[in-house]
Amino acid sequence: MNGSDSPASDHPVTRRAVLGGLIGAGVCTLDSGIAFAAPPGFDQWREGFRARALARGVSEGTYIRVMSRIEPDMSVFEKLRKQPEFNEQLWQYINRRVSDWRLTAGKVALRKYDALFTRIERDFGVARGTLLALWGVESAFGDPLVQKNHMRPVFPSLAALAWNEPRRKKYWETELINALRIVDKGWSTPEEMRGSWAGAMGHTQWMPEVWLNVGIDYDGDGRVSPFGRPDDALGSTARYLVNRGKYRRGEHWGYEVRGASNVKAPAQSYERWAAAGVTRADGQPFPRPGDRAQLWTPVAGGPSFLLGPNFYAVRSYNPSMNYALAIVHLGDRILGGGPFVQPFPGSERALTLAELQELQTRLTQAGFDTGGTDGRVGNDTMQAVRDFQTRTGLAPADGYPGLKVLARLRQGL
């Protein structure tokens, strides 16, 4: 039921009095009944913001339901200022994301949701490998432990940012209004809407604007949701890649290539690249020689790639070349492809699942908090590695959980 259809909407004067009373008193009440004082200035902002939200179509009933009892999550400002920076080299970045755990879990997800991926490929033309990789990187294939342990209520975060983050204030205000409109539509509840500190939610980490404007009810349950069954999340993500990323049906993202070191040319067809002596690194022919691609060598001496439009469609999801390369490579690997033929300079192989679990276990036993020993590497594990590297003088202290760190841990140092 939409908030505007609720019985409370029959009494706007009463609702204004309730909200105004709470704001005027400078006190909010949590579900537990505990009262707290709002930070200075928040009450006044909330009172002024109400008019903007209502002008954008949010019902007053929803505004009262969500905003009258909200406490801004002030920890977001610390996270905004001190986002983890580990200065990863590209090969380290890719190894962490194209991990043994993700390859195994991705193949399980592929088997379990084969019919869903077949439907998406038919409806949108987006290859299953791309969606699997996005899903795996964004939420570990919807693992509920990620939702439970690493996500937080988004309304307190968005309210804090909309109120007191000056650099992108309009953006955060708009996202808060979008989140309120989602509740107004009856698609979700404030309690269900848990996500990152910046407000991204669900299987494929939608911001409220994406949820509201791109999301589709792909499972036919009457609402659009990035939570629960993955149908809406994956179907809508495919729609996003097509509508906003201009994803092209039937085209591969690109290929690792050889023979490109002395070739300088703008984007052109694979056929013309081949005529110039550029070939696929795996020795296979280009299956669609008329498609166009452009050359990219991200690190001198490392692998080179011909990138088609679908690589940039993936990049539209996160404006990072490294992110896009990790996604498309992970997708290929889940579907049976091999590692890059040409290694990155100075790179080492990725640890196996068992080796990562051993590394995490040894770090934990040495007093470093890895946040778990499941073979999945997040910021906790990387911080633990960096602390261990610093303590033992293992340079560089880059937080990368690799073979050198594991060898030092096995030495008991």
* Residue 7: pLDDT band with limits 50, 70, 90: very low
H or E stretch covering 194 = strand 194-195
pLDDT at 36 over 60: no
Cα gap 308→145, rounded to integer Å: 36
pLDDT digit string, tens, across residues 279-331: 999 999 999 999 999 999 999 999 999 999 999 999 999 999 999 999 999 99
Cα gap 383→389, rounded to integer Å: 10
Contact between 176 and 168 (Cβ < 8 Å): no
CB atoms within 10 A of CB 389: 19
pLDDT digit string, tens, across residues 105-144: 999 999 999 999 999 999 999 999 999 999 999 999 999 8
Task: List the domains of the chain with CATH numbers.
Answer: 3-71+152-195 (1.10.8), 353-410 (no CATH)
Cα gap 351→362, rounded to integer Å: 15
CB atoms within 10 A of CB 219: 17
Mean pLDDT within 194-208: 96
% of the chain beyond a pLDDT of 70: 89
pTM reported for the whole predicted model: 0.87
Tally of CA atoms within 13 A in the half-sphere of 104 that contains its CB:
9
Tell me the two tokens of residue 73.
């999550």
Cα gap 149→154, rounded to integer Å: 14
% of the chain beyond a pLDDT of 90: 83
Which residue(s) pair with 292 in the sheet?
269
Contact between 204 and 233 (Cβ < 8 Å): yes
Cα gap 308→310, rounded to integer Å: 6
